[in-house]
Amino acid sequence: MANKGPSYGMSREVQSKIEKKYDEELEERLVEWIIVQCGPDVGRPDRGRLGFQVWLKNGMILSKLVNSLYPDGSKPVKVPENPPSMVFKQMEQVAQFLKAAEDYGVTKTDMFQTVDLFEGKDLAAVQRTLMALGSLAVTKNDGHYRGDPNWFMKKAQEHKREFTESQLQEGKHVIGLQMGSNRGASQAGMTGYGRPRQIIS
């Protein structure tokens, strides 16, 4: 991890493409939300990819963020008093955040891998996870989200419909379009099987 040298050739191109996906404006919005959600004691990172990575790297802020979306007494992540200094402890803290975010409802496709954040491999994926978490918090609207609701898009919610028995009976008499129709159908122009249609010019 720590002794990974610079990348060249194809791996450099791939890394460059991944880095271009990082959104500076989105970074500002996410930083604002995290500060409002967790309180000013989390501090503010230096602007840019590296500052954002260093700010979240040890997993403490991420853990506080996901805990703030739960009521008191049911916090999913144990946050130590002092930030962990050992690398594996920091990665473990990030992994706990990821597990808690998944339990909260973030889909696996929206999750980043621990190395994406820890080694700075794909900070755009980290942004994507935080956006998904924010969208879920706004959608749930359970009183734990703090900040401007317009920072995140609400996710579509289930809209259950109730039909009366008479409405269900009426529906049985309607032929759905999926069943097809025999109106306008004829065998004009059809030929027997195996014989080509004669085209005379």
User: In angstroms, how far is the first alpha carbon of the chain from the final one?
Assistant: 74
Indicate whether this model's pTM tops 0.85: no
Q: CA-CA distance, 130 to 117, in Å (whole number)? A: 12
Contact 115, 122 (CB under 8 A): no
Q: What is the pLDDT of residue 99?
A: 93
Chain centroid, CA 187 distance in Å: 53
Contact 112, 128 (CB under 8 A): yes
8-state DSSP, 128: H
Is the pLDDT at 9 greater than 50, yes or no? yes
Q: What is the pLDDT of residues 174-197, one digit of tens each?
A: 766 656 665 666 666 666 666 666
Is the pLDDT at 136 greater than 70, yes or no? yes
Q: Pseudo-torsion of CA 85, 69, 98, 41, nearest 10°?
A: -20
Contact 139, 157 (CB under 8 A): yes
Q: What is the pLDDT of residues 40-61, one digit of tens each?
A: 888 888 888 888 889 988 889 9
Q: Which of 101, 62, 54 is nearest to 79 (CA)?
A: 62
pLDDT mean over 89-106: 91
Q: What is the pLDDT of residue 102?
A: 92
Q: CA-CA distance, 136 to 65, in Å (whole number)? A: 13
Angle (nearest 5°) at CA 108 between 111 and 148: 55
Q: How many residues are present in the chain?
A: 201
The one-letter amino acid at 136: L
Is the pLDDT at 2 greater than 60, yes or no? no
